[in-house]
Amino acid sequence: MPRPSTERSSSPNGYQPHILAINNDPAVLSLFRDLLQEAGYQVSTQNYIDRDLDQIKALKPDLIVLDYMWATEDASWSLLQMLRMDPSTVAIPIVLCTGAVHEVKALEEHLVSMGVTVVLKPFNIDQLVDAIRERLTPEHPPIVAST
């Protein structure tokens, strides 16, 4: 069982939407943290996929940025399903970042129907921030963004 490595950062300047970034690569998490804090969000990071949703439920993120990790494909997919099956997490918008372009494109329609916005790697940082901003605005539907 990996040691939980979730850390949360915030700014004292009023309410900021809370983003949880899940990725097994510390360099990617570090980039997400810097980018999203600069964009005005609170950021929590988690460098492993926990099949137990308790940690996510405790963090109560407004949005989850999930990396679809090829090396841990089953875990990524299981987490996605669990988040959509649990009543307390079903409404949390999910932005899926992935380099598995072919595989995810094959499931594009289904992912959108699950309320998942897909951002394909490598992406422009503005694409990711725009996708997050749009998903935090209720009237915007999920999208698939690619370079």
Partner 1 sequence: MDELRSRLEPRTPEQQAHAARMHELRSPLTVLVGRVQLLRRHLRGGQ
Decide if residue 110 touches partner 1 (CB under 8 A): yes
Q: Which residues are paired to 7 by β-bridges?
A: 45
Q: Which of these segments, 1-9, 45-53, 71-79, 137-145, binds partner 1 (CB under 8 A)?
A: 71-79
Stretch near partner 1 under the rule CB under 8 A, chosen from 8-16, 25-33, 46-54, 133-141: 25-33
Establish if 90 lies at the interface with partner 1 (CB under 8 A). Answer: no
Long-range contacts of range 139-143, CB-CB < 8 Å, 24 or more positions apart? 141/112, 142/93, 142/111, 142/112, 142/114, 142/115, 142/116, 142/117, 142/118, 143/112, 143/117, 143/118
Both tokens assigned to 115: 């309320």
Q: Is residue 124 within the footprint of partner 1 (CB under 8 A)?
A: yes
Residue 75 tokens read as 């875990």
Those residues whose C-beta lies under 8 Å from the C-beta of residue 31, and which sit 6 or more positions away, are none
Contact window for partner 1 (CB under 8 A) among 8-16, 48-56, 96-104, 132-140: 96-104
51 binds partner 1 (CB under 8 A): no
Give the one residue of 75, 125, 143, 145 binding partner 1; rule: CB under 8 A: 125
Q: Rounded to whole angstroms, how far apart are CA atoms 130 and 111?
A: 18
Per CB under 8 A, 138 contacts partner 1: no
Q: Which two tokens stand for residue 40?
A: 């005005």
Residue ranges in contact with partner 1 by CB under 8 A: 25, 27-28, 31, 34-35, 38, 67, 69-71, 73, 77, 81, 97-103, 106-107, 110, 121-126
